[in-house]
Amino acid sequence: MTAGIFPLDAAAAEARLGELAAILVDAVEQGASVNFMAGIATEDAAGFWRRQLPGLVEGEKQLLVAEEDGRLVGTILLMFAQQPNAPHRAEIGKMLVHSGLRRRGLGRRLLAAAEAAARAAGRSLLMLDTESGSAGEALYKACGWTEFGRVPGHSRKPNGPLAETTFFYKRL
């Protein structure tokens, strides 16, 4: 079955915090460098998503999810720049696909959906960062994103060592 991709508003996201948390925990357990360390508790992952709810209500963020067979299996967070001089810009975050469903094009579809949502919101420049050498880096390059820099030792991997981060942008 093909996963459907759609936005979740704050109320729907709150109702599905457990599923959102499970996706985040799975990503960290699989070694994804997504701001959390190994051993992240489900409650902490749910807390992260709960803290996103006000931004969803205020229109500062948009959460898109992938659902297959009635369960959430992927996420991508579109964060609209709030600075007065940046109404054209947004950032991508928490681009996550459940480890059991990777390598099926779902990440590419989530990214395309976020790009379309950004365009619809009048945004023409997107930015993101990812661990250098990761599957995410390969995906962003394959989807036409432009690398604009690397920072050695930028973030810790979930198991502790420092890792390089690659920064990308895409003009829509």
Per-residue pLDDT of the chain (172 residues; tens, 9 = 90+): 588 999 999 999 999 999 999 999 999 999 999 999 999 999 999 999 999 999 999 999 999 999 999 999 999 999 999 999 999 999 999 999 999 999 899 999 999 999 999 999 999 999 999 999 999 999 999 999 999 999 999 999 999 999 999 999 999 9
Q: Which domains does the chain have, with CATH numbers?
A: 4-128 (3.40.630.30)
DSSP of 131-169, one letter per residue? Answer: ETTSHHHHHHHHTT-EEEEEEEEEEE-TTS-EEEEEEEE
- How far apart are the C-alpha atoms of 132 and 151, rounded to whole Å? 9
Phi, psi of 139 (to 5 degrees): -65, -50
Closest by Cα among 77, 87, 67 to 35: 77
Measuring CA to CA, which residue among 51, 50, 53, 28 is closest to residue 41?
28
Number of residues that make up the chain: 172
